[in-house]
Chains A and B, each alone.
Chain A
Amino acid sequence: MLNDASHKEIWAMLTNGCQDALLALYDKYYLGLMNYGLRLTGDRDFTNDCISQILLRLWDKRGNLPEVENPRSYLLTCLRNELFTERKAQHFRLVSAINFNQTITTSEPSYEEYLIQLQSNKTLREKLALTLQNLTVREKELLRLKFFENMDYTEIAIQCGITKRTAYNIIHSALKTLKAGMINSQNIWMAYDIAMITVILVFISQ
């Protein structure tokens, strides 16, 4: 029900003490926040805990919420701080600060690299790597904003300084290239299934 509200509206509702708004914030920013946390720490439960913490803290402070122009980056900053503080307190209670830093910051891969890393199937990994190479830098950036950060076209248009129509078109052509590169492998599976069924039917009819 709150899904179509703009972030400003949700923010306002939160300030007024509406608890549904808290959940709506979670739904709206989950993907962007979770992906951010996963890229930094690789730990899903830990990231979800931190996301929960920062949202609950917002709720606690709802009487004094700042007027925020960009809730998305505000939340990302909160999350980053939370991830670092909690990591320090919880998992890596090591003596040297150097070790601690290495576990979070240096291993942050690019969007492209990260997506490739996520595939467990080697063939898929190679196919994806190849396909992504066929996309322009702008196409990859827009794909990231739309599907990885879960921004809507309005946000993307503002962020990139382009019109919504342009954003739509760039994403559209990027998707077509992606489909062409990736769906081939699936067609192979379809053919395999059909072949198996044919073989069995032939076998039965003997």
Chain B
Amino acid sequence: MDPKKYEAEDFLQDPSFCDYCLGNNEQAVNFWNEWISLNPERTKVIQQAKDLYGLLNGNHTASQYMYDRQSFINKINERLSLPGYIEPDNLNQPGRKSSPLRKLVLYATATAAAFLLFFFLTPAIKKVLSPSLSVSPYVYGEDSKAGERKSFQLTDGTKVMLNAGSTIKVSKNFNVSTREILLEGEAFFDVTHNAQKPFIIHTASMDVRVLGTAFNIKAYPSDKTTETSLLRGSIEVTVKNDPGKVVILHPNEKIILLNATREEVPVKASQKIPVSTPVSQKYKISGLTYSRMDSSLVEVSWTDNKLVFDSESFEDIATRLERWYNVSIRFENPDVRQYRFTGGFDKKTIIQVLNALQLSRRFEYAEYETDGKVQIIIK
């Protein structure tokens, strides 16, 4: 049958059309885009068919598919960093050939739609604008709950991985002249390079300004310190309660900043402090920490889903365990808080971790559940 005579159900029986709706077949997508622009009178029927398809396939759209597919491609590229692997060009998403006719049709429909939209929406817009506008320039981004990590991409291609119990808010004008976000908690960033649009992350105690690079920021409001660790590239850190103080980090360095309420910055013996940097009471710069176990970087081990501590106090470890496993930990014996542990855990349960810690230092624990949340008492 000639597609021009298709009704909605006939489109759906055409595998090529279904592929077009889903977006997983470059030839199909090109073919149908072309066909639709050449046969605009069938637009209504096509839309019916698309709606029905979406209904039946579980609400998947082509854009969602593209996003997921790109994630997969990124993973392939990360994994296969061997010579002679697929050049980025071969992994292009199915493109859209745009013929001049199609462009004309698009412009015409867009203008008509805009005109109609304007007509209907003006009264609505007036109503929304007249009460006081929201002052915050940030729109909600993403957040992760305790015990949860989340990976996603921002609209400029920057990859973000959020650690447990963290929130990111994206500015309304993101990617217009700057790329600004607000972070509470911990996140790892792989920022798309764009010298024209600096990427700026605001936390409570420090602002981090980046051009394109990979780094980790740990800024939990309840922690004693805020830390930024740089893996590659270079970033500029502004210390908020020391205005005018700007520090440039080089790869393999991190900055540890005291949050407003504490007195002293804790320093670990294992870290090297470059001689030339000024050491003030408020912040310190040191090298990144390599785990003695497997020489992975402690600061970003969470992105590999590994829990690593390097001579950390039980108190600090407990906070991390609470976030990582979404449990609640209380110490009955205050001395036990000061125990220090070094260790690495890969895909273990909280009980396995506690049992392993017990092998180094003597303590006891009890575990029970209230309201669906696990509570641990350490004595």
Contact residues of A with B, CB < 8 Å? Answer: 1, 3, 19-20, 22-23, 26-28, 30-31, 34-35, 38, 44-45, 48-49, 51-52, 55-56, 59, 88-96, 114-115, 118, 128, 143, 147-148, 150, 152-153, 168, 171-172, 175-176, 178-179, 182-183, 186, 196-197, 200
Q: Are B18 and A56 in contact (CB under 8 A)?
A: no
Q: Assuming A93-B350, A95-B349, what are 13 further A-B pairs, CB within 8 angstroms?
A: A19-B76, A19-B80, A22-B76, A91-B148, A94-B349, A147-B56, A168-B13, A178-B52, A178-B55, A179-B7, A182-B51, A182-B55, A186-B51
Could you give 22 example pairs across A and B, Cβ below 8 Å?
A22-B76, A31-B22, A31-B58, A34-B58, A34-B60, A35-B58, A44-B68, A52-B72, A52-B75, A55-B72, A56-B79, A89-B347, A93-B147, A95-B350, A95-B351, A114-B58, A147-B12, A178-B56, A179-B7, A179-B52, A183-B8, A183-B48
Chain A's closest residue to B347 (CB) is A89
Q: Are B350 and A118 in contact (CB under 8 A)?
A: no
Closest CB-CB distance, B357 to chain A, in whole Å?
Answer: 15
**Given the complex, which residues of B lie within 8 Å of A179, measured CB to CB?**
7-9, 48, 52
Q: Are B57 and A147 in contact (CB under 8 A)?
A: yes
Total A-B Cβ pairs within 8 A: 136
* Complex Cα–Cα for A131 and B160 (A): 42
**Given the complex, which residues of A lie within 8 Å of B27, measured CB to CB?**
3
* Complex Cα–Cα for A153 and B120 (A): 45
Q: Are A94 and B374 in contact (CB under 8 A)?
A: yes
* Complex Cα–Cα for A147 and B28 (A): 16
Chain B's closest residue to A149 (CB) is B57
* Complex Cα–Cα for A27 and B92 (A): 13
Q: Are B75 and A56 in contact (CB under 8 A)?
A: yes
With A94-B374, A147-B57 known as contacts, the answer to whether A23 contacts B80 (CB < 8 A) is no
Give which listed residue, A3, A22, A59, A91, contacts B25 with CB less than 8 A: A3
**Given the complex, which residues of A lie within 8 Å of B154, measured CB to CB?**
none
* Complex Cα–Cα for A89 and B12 (A): 41
Give which listed residue, A30, A95, A172, contacts B367 with CB less than 8 A: A95
Determine whether B222 belongs to the interface, using a CB cutoff of 8 Å to chain A. Answer: no
**Given the complex, which residues of B lie within 8 Å of A1, measured CB to CB?**
26
Q: Which B residues between 97 and 115 are near A, CB-CB below 8 angstroms?
A: none
**Given the complex, which residues of A lie within 8 Å of B301, measured CB to CB?**
none
Give which listed residue, A19, A38, A128, A186, contacts B85 with CB less than 8 A: A19
Give which listed residue, B53, B60, B90, contacts A20 with CB less than 8 A: B90
Closest CB-CB distance, B55 to chain A, in whole Å?
Answer: 7
**Given the complex, which residues of B lie within 8 Å of A153, measured CB to CB?**
15
Chain A's closest residue to B152 (CB) is A45
**Given the complex, which residues of A lie within 8 Å of B72, measured CB to CB?**
23, 26, 48, 51-52, 55
Interface residue total, chain B, C-beta cutoff 8 A = 59
Most buried by A among B22, B72, B79, B347: B72
Chain B's closest residue to A124 (CB) is B55
**Given the complex, which residues of B lie within 8 Å of A182, measured CB to CB?**
51-52, 55
Closest CB-CB distance, B141 to chain A, in whole Å?
Answer: 14
* Complex Cα–Cα for A94 and B374 (A): 8
Determine whether B86 belongs to the interface, using a CB cutoff of 8 Å to chain A. Answer: yes
* Complex Cα–Cα for A179 and B11 (A): 12
* Complex Cα–Cα for A3 and B30 (A): 14
* Complex Cα–Cα for A114 and B149 (A): 26
Across the A-B interface, give the 7 residue pairs with the lowest CB-CB distance, nearest first.
A175-B9, A147-B56, A89-B347, A93-B325, A27-B24, A48-B68, A3-B25
Q: Are B86 and A45 in contact (CB under 8 A)?
A: no
Q: Are A200 and B119 in contact (CB under 8 A)?
A: yes
Q: Give per-residue flags for B202-215: 1 if the beta carbon is below 8 A from chain A beta carbons, else 0.
A: 00000000000000
* Complex Cα–Cα for A150 and B367 (A): 47
Determine whether B155 belongs to the interface, using a CB cutoff of 8 Å to chain A. Answer: no
